[in-house]
Amino acid sequence: MAQYPYRSLNEYYRTLFGGKTAKISLDGGFTCPNRDGTIAHGGCIFCSAGGSGDFAEDAALSIAQQIARGKAQTKEKWPAACYIAYFQAFTNTYAPVTVLRAKFEEALAQQDIVGISIATRPDCLGEDVLALLQELSLKTKLWVELGLQTSNENTAGFIRRGYPNSVFLDAAANLHRLHIPIVAHVILGLPGETAEDMLHTIAFINRLPIHGIKLQLMHVLAGTELAELYKTGAYVPLEHDAYLELLCRCISLLRKDIVIYRLTGDGDKSLLLAPFWSLHKREVLNSLHKLLKDKHISQGISLN
Binding positions for ligand SF4, rule: CB under 6 A: 32, 34-35, 43-44, 47, 51-52, 90-91, 121, 147
List Cβ neighbours of 66 (8 Å cut-off, separation of 6 or more): 24, 26, 27, 56, 57, 58
Nearest to 44 by CA among 225, 273, 229: 225
Nearest to 251 by CA among 276, 285, 274, 209: 285
- Name which of 45 and 292 has its Cβ closer to ligand SF4: 45
CB neighbour burial string for 92-118, b if at least 16 within 10 angstroms, e if fewer = bbbbeeeebeebbebbbebeebbbbbb
Residue 124 or residue 259: which is nearer to ligand SF4 going by CB? 124
- Minimum distance between the CB of residue 282 and ligand SF4, rounded to whole angstroms? 26
Inter-residue contact 226 to 45 (CB < 8 Å): yes
Min separation Cβ 52 and ligand SF4, Å: 4
Residue sitting closest to ligand SF4 (CB) = 43
Q: How far is the CB of 177 from ligand SF4 (least distance, A)?
A: 23
Report how far residue 215's alpha carbon sits from residue 9's, in angstroms, rounded to the nearest whole number.
12
> What end-to-end distance do the CA atoms of the chain give, in Å?
23
Residues contacting residue 203 through CB under 8 Å, at least 6 positions apart = 151, 253
Q: Cβ(97)–Cβ(103) under 8 Å?
A: no
CA 19 to each of CA 22, 23, 83, 102, 114: distance values in angstroms, whole numbers, following the listed order? 10, 13, 10, 28, 12
Shortest distance, position 28 Cβ to ligand SF4, whole Å: 12
**Closest separation in Å from C-beta 166 to ligand SF4:** 17
In the complex, the smallest distance separating the C-beta of residue 266 from ligand SF4, rounded to whole angstroms, is 15
In the three-class reduction of DSSP (H, G, I as helix; E, B as strand; rest coil), residue 219 is classed as coil
Give bridge partners of residue 272 from the DSSP assignment: 221
If the CB atoms of residues 21 and 52 are measured against ligand SF4, the closer one turns out to be 52
Q: How far is the CB of 48 from ligand SF4 (least distance, A)?
A: 8
Q: Nearer to ligand SF4 by C-beta: 32 or 113?
A: 32
C-alpha closest to that of 187 among 257, 274, 246, 241: 246
Query: Cβ 293 to ligand SF4, closest distance in Å?
Result: 34
For ligand SF4, the closer of residues 148 and 274 by Cβ is 148
Taking each helix axis from N to C end, the angle separating 127-139 and 165-177, rounded to the nearest 10 degrees, works out to 40
Return the number of the residue (7 or 121) whose C-beta is nearest ligand SF4: 121
For ligand SF4, the closer CB: 7 or 35:
35
Judged by beta carbon, residue 34 or residue 150, the one nearer ligand SF4 is 34
Give the closest residue to 61 by CA, choosing from 92, 88, 28, 98: 28
- Shortest distance, CB of residue 221 to ligand SF4, whole angstroms? 11
- 83/87 with CB nearer ligand SF4: 87
Q: Which of 204, 206, 201 is nearest to 188 (CA)?
A: 201
